[in-house]
């Protein structure tokens, strides 16, 4: 999907202040955070309801960060929440005609929660950053006071060297950040030029390569197709938060799916959970009403699923489904399905269970995969590029001994 920014704007963004730099004033650091939070775009091809649904979980995640003391992440999310629903989404061509329950809830959250919490967080961050900046200045003054006469003679060259090293560090950081964004744009342009290309990609099962993608079509349980959802939902973190997965989850899900698996029919479920410090913990698996066959599984009555999530304040952390007759991989339609989850939450995972082969894979899309799949408008089974892997085994998932709640709504 084409992005609404240029390389020049990326260079400018990378050269701006870092909110983690205590040498900056409190105001400069808060402004740096606010600029990060303002990067929200709306795609006219994505239904407003998708944004409203993502917004509910965005606010839920922001509330979790606030409760756990993650002031920066909470401030960014609440600011993005306000920017999205006050400034950007009302300009969507279908906004006025959108009549969904989530819209009313979002408007209430704006009035009663988002604005006041953003202001509160800004004050708390200004106080925190002010203390850190004052401490930084005290350390600088103390260091200057300890210098003797000889030190004073060397102060000029030493200060110049410190400034040179600091400038090199800032330049390196900006270069790395810019390289990352430039890679995203390059991937997207390459995917756009390739168009429809025949071929398949190698795949991994969490341990090693297991072969080429067979001809298989899986209907996605949900359908959102916009990279802008990720920009709206993400907190701008530079690394993936750990995702905690109970060890018994897959075996218990396979028990629920056993009857379908015996008949060669797929079963799918949604992974739900909560923020625990700076990790995302899967606590529930919800198996909604669904229609399925040997090579597809489609959710039905998603309102029941949404109602359960809202009642228990649960985040959507990914999905799980079976391949009763084949091994573990993500088909072309599975790629599109998971892109929807990963666009909303970078850490979202796709678990694939192959009971016939006793294999389980935990996957996410690569940078190239996200770019190519987001730009693809084909439906059903179709080939994607085979030049670079579009998905890989997850490195941010950690197994735990925590319990998991299984809810079968079928």
Q: Mean pLDDT throughout 127-142?
A: 90
Looking at residue 11, its pLDDT comes to 45
Picking from 110, 130, 146, the residue at the C-terminal end of a domain is 146
Question: Which residues on adjacent β-strands are paired with residue 399?
Answer: 245
Within this chain, do residues 249 and 105 fall inside the same structural domain, yes or no?
no
Q: Mean pLDDT throughout 20-29?
A: 89
Within this chain, do residues 13 and 94 fall inside the same structural domain, yes or no?
yes
Model confidence at 162, pLDDT cuts 50, 70, 90, reads: low
Mean pLDDT of the chain: 78
* 185 within a domain of the structure (yes/no): no
Greatest extent of the chain over all pairs of C-alpha atoms, in Å: 87
Within this chain, do residues 217 and 133 fall inside the same structural domain, yes or no?
no
Rg (CA), the chain: 24
User: CATH no. for residue 383?
Assistant: 3.40.140.10
Question: Which residues on adjacent β-strands are paired with residue 321?
Answer: 268, 352
Looking at residue 281, its pLDDT comes to 97
Picking from 101, 125, 146, the residue at the C-terminal end of a domain is 146
Within this chain, do residues 103 and 210 fall inside the same structural domain, yes or no?
no
Instruction: Determine the Cα–Cα distance for residues 238 and 240; give it in Å rounded to an integer.
Output: 7
Within this chain, do residues 138 and 205 fall inside the same structural domain, yes or no?
no
* 165 within a domain of the structure (yes/no): no
User: CATH no. for residue 43?
Assistant: 1.20.58.80
* 126 within a domain of the structure (yes/no): yes
Looking at residue 257, its pLDDT comes to 96
Q: How many CA atoms lie within 13 A of 168 on its CB side?
A: 6
Within this chain, do residues 139 and 275 fall inside the same structural domain, yes or no?
no
Per-residue model confidence as pLDDT tens digits over 260-311: 999 999 999 999 999 998 899 999 999 999 999 888 888 888 889 999 999 9
Within this chain, do residues 132 and 236 fall inside the same structural domain, yes or no?
no
Q: Which residue has the higher pLDDT, 370 or 178?
A: 370
Domain range for residue 22? 7-146
* 336 within a domain of the structure (yes/no): yes
Per-residue model confidence as pLDDT tens digits over 177-233: 444 444 444 444 444 444 433 333 322 333 322 322 333 333 333 333 334 344 444
Domain count, the chain: 2
* 151 within a domain of the structure (yes/no): no
> Could you tell me if 37 and 60 are in contact, meaning their C-beta atoms sit under 8 angstroms apart?
no
Per-residue model confidence as pLDDT tens digits over 62-108: 999 999 999 999 999 999 999 999 999 999 999 999 988 899 999 99
Within this chain, do residues 209 and 341 fall inside the same structural domain, yes or no?
yes
Picking from 123, 146, 169, the residue at the C-terminal end of a domain is 146
- Which is nearest to 63 in space by CA: 75, 80, 51, 50? 75
Judged on CB neighbours under 10 Å (0-12, 13-18, 19+), 332 is buried
Lowest mean pLDDT among 112-116, 165-169, 306-310, 404-408: 165-169
Most confidently predicted of 33-42, 168-177, 293-302: 293-302
Within this chain, do residues 95 and 233 fall inside the same structural domain, yes or no?
no
Within this chain, do residues 95 and 222 fall inside the same structural domain, yes or no?
no
């Amino acid at each position: 999907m084409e992005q609404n920014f240029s390389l020049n704007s990326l260079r400018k963004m990378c050269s701006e202040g870092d909110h983690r730099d205590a040498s900056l004033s409190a105001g400069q650091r808060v402004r740096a955070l606010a600029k990060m939070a303002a990067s929200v775009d709306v795609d006219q091809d994505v239904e407003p309801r998708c944004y409203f649904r993502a917004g509910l979980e965005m606010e839920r995640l922001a509330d979790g960060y606030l409760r756990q003391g993650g002031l920066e992440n909470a401030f960014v999310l609440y600011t993005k929440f306000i920017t999205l629903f006050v400034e950007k989404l009302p300009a969507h061509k279908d906004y006025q005609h959108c009549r969904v329950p989530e819209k009313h809830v979002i408007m209430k959250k704006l009035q009663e929660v988002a604005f006041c919490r953003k202001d509160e967080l800004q004050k708390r961050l200004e106080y925190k950053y002010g203390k850190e900046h004052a401490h930084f200045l005290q350390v600088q003054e103390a260091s200057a006071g300890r210098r003797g006469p000889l030190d004073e003679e060397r102060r000029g060259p030493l200060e110049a060297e410190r400034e040179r090293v600091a400038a090199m560090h800032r330049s390196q950081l900006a270069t790395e950040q810019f390289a990352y964004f430039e890679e995203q744009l390059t991937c997207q342009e390459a995917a756009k030029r390739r168009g429809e290309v025949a071929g398949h990609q190698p795949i991994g099962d969490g341990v090693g390569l297991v072969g080429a993608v067979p001809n298989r079509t899986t209907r996605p349980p949900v359908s959102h197709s916009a990279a802008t959802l990720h920009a709206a939902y993400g907190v701008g973190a530079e690394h993936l938060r750990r995702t905690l997965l109970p060890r018994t989850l897959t075996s218990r899900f396979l028990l629920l799916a056993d009857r379908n698996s015996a008949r060669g029919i797929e079963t799918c479920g949604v992974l739900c959970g909560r923020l625990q410090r700076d990790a995302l913990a899967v606590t529930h698996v919800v198996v909604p009403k669904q229609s399925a066959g040997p090579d597809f599984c489609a959710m039905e009555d998603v309102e029941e699923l949404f109602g359960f999530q809202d009642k228990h304040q649960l985040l959507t952390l990914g999905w799980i489904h079976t391949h009763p007759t084949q091994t573990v991989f993500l088909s072309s339609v599975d790629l599109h399905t998971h892109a929807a989850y990963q666009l909303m939450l970078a850490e979202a995972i796709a678990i694939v269970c192959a009971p016939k082969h006793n294999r389980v894979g935990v996957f996410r899309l690569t940078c190239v995969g996200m770019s190519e799949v987001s730009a693809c408008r084909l439906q059903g089974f179709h080939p994607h590029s085979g030049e670079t892997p579009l998905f890989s085994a997850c490195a941010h998932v950690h197994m735990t001994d925590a319990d998991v709640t299984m809810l079968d709504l079928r």
